[in-house]
Structure 1
């Protein structure tokens, strides 16, 4: 009988010690689980907040750049020198080459004032000529006829070397009420490649507003 008590005594102490350990571990595990859950939620919240901030920054810069580019044709059509160039095209004493060179310079300077790659073009339907910040631009009478007027942004695919690239373009006509190419004295167009948007999105994915250079 005594031997049975001696065997059950240590066993009872072991069970009590094990029960005590379990009692202590349960709240510790609970607190750890709760802390882990809270930490995960905080991290998720921070990631979502950061993503929303980056997206908001992207949209703000996108709107700003598009709005700036939208004003370029208006600015050019109102430029006294450019208007004089357009209106004096039929003047036999007008130094066309020299003045066209100055207009090209104005277009180029206006173009580089934007953080986005773009091209500015003046089409002269009556003379079937074009002046553009893109020196490779040629006059396409069918294109001009199809794009009078085009006061809203339009997505187009154009040939760039041996490949096809997409870009957005819009333009205004002079006079402003012109609806056909025969009524049009000049077209002032701005266009930018889709690559501008792609590069901005890539920088958003790279992370951080500071990394979002607009070029």
Structure 2
């Protein structure tokens, strides 16, 4: 029986684990352990890091893994780099599964920036900002003392955080009506988010369009050159099974 390691933590990773299990493939899903009470996929689950590419390569050899699917978050660049290096050292085939990114639609007012730091620099004095870039990103915005932030994350952020911040602990999916209510109740004028893609959090983009919010969109890092990359669970399942 083939044994496939899925580097997970995303909805696509969970769906892939379920699909491969149904096809008779033995799956091990790896979770970084950064989120409290994560949604677990079917099959075997491993939590915690590997110790960089050296540790991952050793684990692949010891566990006799036949293939690796990197289905981590599109912004998990460090994990992807470790997977690429470990796969190259061991000769284990590697596939990258990345859901497609978001695109502007009529009525949107987006500013695309390459980094979180540039996103922070694009916030003006007096802006009321809906910040949905994750709890680990808040220190980047800690010096934006002239703006007010509504920050949403699954787990509480660690300091430093902006002086004028209100944190909401929540996990998607979200509704357009709920997002519009947040925008209205907190008088928000700017949405700052990452180009994560997917359907679980698109409601904030629809709400921003309807409410006329300016959107600062942080571009995702490009996939590693020379590596096979697909955008759907079905494509990843066919590759991993074969």
TM-score category by the smaller chain? under 0.3
Query: What TM-score does the superposition give when structure 2 sets the normalisation length?
Result: 0.21
Structure whose alpha-carbon radius of gyration is higher: 1
Greater RCO structure (CA 8 Å; 6+ sep):
2
* Greater strand share, structure number: 2
Query: What TM-score does the superposition give when structure 1 sets the normalisation length?
Result: 0.23
